[in-house]
Amino acid sequence: MTKILPHKDVVIIGLGWSGSIIANELTDEGLDVVAIERGPWRDTGTDFNIGYIQDELRYAIRRDLFLQPRVEAMTMRNNDGQSALPIREYNSFLPGNGVGGAGVHWNGQTWRFWDSDFQINKHLTERYGAQKFDGLTLQDWGVTAQEMEKSYDKFEYLAGISGKAGNVNGQIQEGGNPFEDPRSRDYPLPPMEMTYGPTKFAEVTKGMGLHPFPCPSGNLSKDYVNPLGVAMGQCTMCGFCERFGCANYSKSSAQTTVLPVLMKKKNFEARTLCEVLHIDKDASGKMAKGVTYVDSSDEVCFQPADLVVVTAYALHNARLMMLSGIGQVYDPNTGEGTIGRNYCYQTNAGARVYFDDENFNPFIAAGALGMTCDDYNGDAFDHSDVDFVGGAGINCVPSSGRPIQSRPTPPGTPAWGKDWKKATAETYKSSLAFGSQGSSYPVAGNHLDLDPTYKDRFGRPLLRITFDFPDNDLRMSHFVSDRMEDIAKAMGGREHTVSRAKKGWNSAVYQSTHNTGGVIMGTDPKKSALNKYLQSWEAHNVFVVGASAFAHNAGKNPTGTVGGLAFWAADAIRNQYLRNPGVGLVSA
């Protein structure tokens, strides 16, 4: 028996960054909003205790704050020729769980994508001709960087991002990123004070003619009060960011920026430990009428609503659309269908330089404290003479010295015993890592659908991920790895290593929680699930917000764009959709 609950104007699925931002915007509009969240309530005072949050085993290794596979797993394979098997323990990526979502445990690196990303097909076709990216299903997102500027700005000021602008209204700024698109003003806070490693990296790369600048950071360089009146504190560089909640109110998250305002509103309600099973369609099949969810006592409830905003993690957004039958599931053989299309990831490689007489104190760190060069990112450099498109940011962001996971040893060192211990003790403070975070471009074979065999705890099919690194992306990554070799040599250490990207995405080794696509925005209803306002082409009162909307992934962390898209979609709902509800904002 399903319990039918009183009607709401808006139901939001998942109370992370996107859900919190959109709930706050729509409650400001006077709407009655309920958010349904699968995980528990979390906030700083309750859960991120300054007395014991610095616990690497509990939070980073046993992953107390993350989605547990027993709650929802996924299956994976590298290509359609293999049998997918369940990811029994999340390793390659770690989805969040609970209020705040993945925004609780992120590092804080906060980027804007470029116009050459949003209009990637048009841009690359004009510059190189379409044959340059033959085999890649690169599509325009439907928006421009100019359109997105205001939304990015709102997110950066909400979150108190610390950084140095590189381009204010077309004027290049010394010390910022010269490759970024024009922004209307500088970041709300100055860059963080640099540790030794990134300082050295910046000196060396600058000497090589590159353009290092401080990574835009959600770890706050100063105390800050955001436009909603929520106060945050200066980051203390404790080195417990990624995989941890911040006990210090110093890392931007829904908890530290939006929820203190949102939770006080009479027209907002949050329900935790309630998992949405699917979105319900009305008799016409063209509109949603609400969502069905199950709570932790196994009671099934139907929540009617006029508007459904899907803001779970990217992969969960895609699965929810499939389980709800909104949009056709993508078939890589025919190219038909939109849900599950253009699934992308991140193409990373790493370098480490070993010194004899340097002390980097790796434990003095923060998740986004470091320096970046974008000289080889995106289309910042001419691709005429190379056999790939895309690029990578080269980042020196030594974000922690937590010793269970961070104990580098020089090549050839055994994994245990006397020699291992000696090398570990010698190397802990005296080596420096940097890495390339590369773009991930879509190909027909990389996609999401429902697994035919494996089920979740409610008997529903698990999401199936079919993914491997496309050859284009590997060629890109190897090109950038060659540049990293040059930098590593110029650093002047005793020796160095470069770990290159290779074929065969391995789900058992941590790489990145930057899963994108599956419910993408775009201009063509045959090739995208959403229009440029993140509104479903199929059901006009459904908006799907998150990295699931990315038509490809750039060589950058996704959260800045996720936050920008949340403000972008909220603005479209407030200022366009509500005037004429139920109607598509873009004609198909």
Partner 1 sequence: MTQHCPPRLTRRSFLSTMSAALLAGTAGPALARDYPGGTLPWNAYSSEPPTQIVPGGWKFFTPAEAATVEAIVDRLIPEDDLSVGGKDAGCAVYIDRQLTTFYGSSDRLYMQGPFKPGLPTQGYQGEWTNAERYRRGLGAIAKYLNANKSGATFASLSDEDKDAFLKDMEAGKVELPDDVDAKAFFALILGNTMEGFFADPVYGGNKDMASWKMLGFPGARYDYREYVSKHNQPFPLPPVSIAGAMNWKAK
- Give Dmax over CA atoms of the chain in angstroms: 72
CB 219 within 8 A of CB 366: yes
Phi and psi torsions of 138, nearest 5°: -70, 130
Least Cβ distance, residue 402 to partner 1 (angstroms): 8
Output the smallest distance, CB 498 to partner 1, in A: 22
| Complete DSSP assignment for 199-231 | HHHHHHHHHTT---EEPPBSB-SS-EE-TTS-E
Torsion-angle region of 417 (φ positive above 0: left; ψ -120 to 50: alpha; else: beta) = left
Q: Which of residues 184 and 236 has its CB atom nearest to partner 1 in the complex?
A: 236
Is 413 an interacting residue with respect to partner 1 (CB under 8 A)? no
Scanning residues 112 to 171, which ones bind partner 1 (CB under 8 A)?
none
Applying CB under 8 A, among 80, 126, 147, 193 the residue interacting with partner 1 is 193
Please tell me which residue in 278, 383, 447, 514 is annotated as part of the active site.
Answer: 514
Min CB(135)–partner 1 separation in Å? 22
Tokens of 4: 């039918």
Window 438 to 457, contacts with partner 1 (CB under 8 A): 453-455
Which 506-525 positions form the footprint of partner 1 (CB under 8 A)?
Answer: 506-508
Among 2, 7, 80, 88, interactor with partner 1 by CB under 8 A: 88
| Closer residue to partner 1 in complex, CB, 236/575 | 236
CA nearest to 555, candidates 483, 507, 492, 491: 483
Residue 59 is classified by DSSP as I
> How far apart are the C-alpha atoms of 21 and 15, rounded to whole Å?
9
Residue 170 per-residue DSSP state: T
Taking CB under 8 A as the criterion, the residue among 127, 132, 271, 286 binding partner 1 is 271
Residues 22-61 that bind partner 1 (CB under 8 A): 40-41, 43, 45-47, 49-52, 54-58, 61
Identity of the residue, 374 or 468, whose beta carbon is nearer to partner 1 in the bound complex: 468
Interface pick for partner 1 out of 2, 4, 80, 91 (rule CB under 8 A): 91
HEC string of 328-396 equals CECECCCCECCECEEEECCEEEEEEEECCCCCCCCCCECCCCCEEECCCCCCCCCCCCCCCCCCEEEEE
The reply to whether 504 sits near partner 1 by the rule CB under 8 A is yes
460 binds partner 1 (CB under 8 A): no
Which candidate, 346, 451, 518, 548, places its Cα nearest to that of 86?
451
Q: Does 432 bind partner 1 (CB under 8 A)?
A: no
Contacts of 518 (CB under 8 A, 6+ apart): 314, 315, 317, 318, 339, 340, 341, 342, 343, 448, 548
Q: Which stretch binds partner 1 (CB under 8 A): 112-120, 190-198, 514-522, 527-535?
A: 190-198
Question: Can you tell me the distance from the alpha carbon of 588 to that of 585, in angstroms, rounded to the nearest whole number?
Answer: 9
Q: Choose among 551, 586, 499, 467: nearest CA to 140.
A: 551
- Pick between residue 462 and residue 562 the one whose CB is nearest to partner 1: 462
Annotate 404-448 with DSSP letters as a single string: TT-----TT--SSSHHHHHHHHHHTTTEEEEEEEE-B---TT-EE
69 lines the binding site for partner 1 (CB under 8 A): yes
Residues 230 and 281: their CA atoms lie apart, in Å, by 38
Q: Does 79 bind partner 1 (CB under 8 A)?
A: no
Identified binder of partner 1 from the candidate list 1, 6, 81, 83, rule CB under 8 A: 83
Write the single-letter amino acid at 136.
L
Closer to partner 1 by Cβ: residue 184 or 296: 296
| Cβ at position 579, least distance to partner 1 in Å | 25
428 belongs to the binding site for partner 1 (CB under 8 A): yes
- Choose between 363 and 381: whose C-beta lies nearer to partner 1: 363
- Considering only residues 198 to 257 of the shown chain, the ones binding partner 1 according to CB under 8 A are 199, 234, 236-239, 247-248
Task: Kindly indicate which of the ranges 81-89, 280-288, 541-549, 553-561 contains the residues binding partner 1, using the contact rule CB under 8 A.
Answer: 81-89
Residue 162 β-bridge partners: 189, 217
CB of 175 to partner 1, least distance (A): 18
* Closest separation in Å from C-beta 444 to partner 1: 20
Q: How far apart are CA 168 and CA 455, in angstroms?
A: 51
| Contact between 280 and 289 (Cβ < 8 Å) | yes
Answer for which of 358, 374, 451, 473 binds partner 1 (CB under 8 A) is 358
Token digits for 427?
A: 């190397």
Shortest distance, position 291 Cβ to partner 1, whole Å: 14
Nearer to partner 1, 57 or 130 (CB): 57
Q: How many CB atoms lie within 10 A of CB 184?
A: 11
The reply on whether position 474 binds partner 1 by CB under 8 A is: no
Interface characters, 295-324, with partner 1 (x: CB under 8 A): xxxxx-x-----------------------
Applying CB under 8 A, among 1, 283, 404, 588 the residue interacting with partner 1 is: 404
Q: Which of 270, 291, 394, 565 binds partner 1 (CB under 8 A)?
A: 270
Question: Is residue 4 a contact point for partner 1 (CB under 8 A)?
Answer: no
Which of 68, 328 has the CB closer to partner 1? Answer: 68
Tell me the site size for partner 1, rule CB under 8 A.
Answer: 93
Whose CA is closest to 447, among 468, 477, 473, 471? Answer: 468
Known catalytic membership, residue 514: yes
Question: Where in the sequence numbering do the catalytic residues fall?
Answer: 514
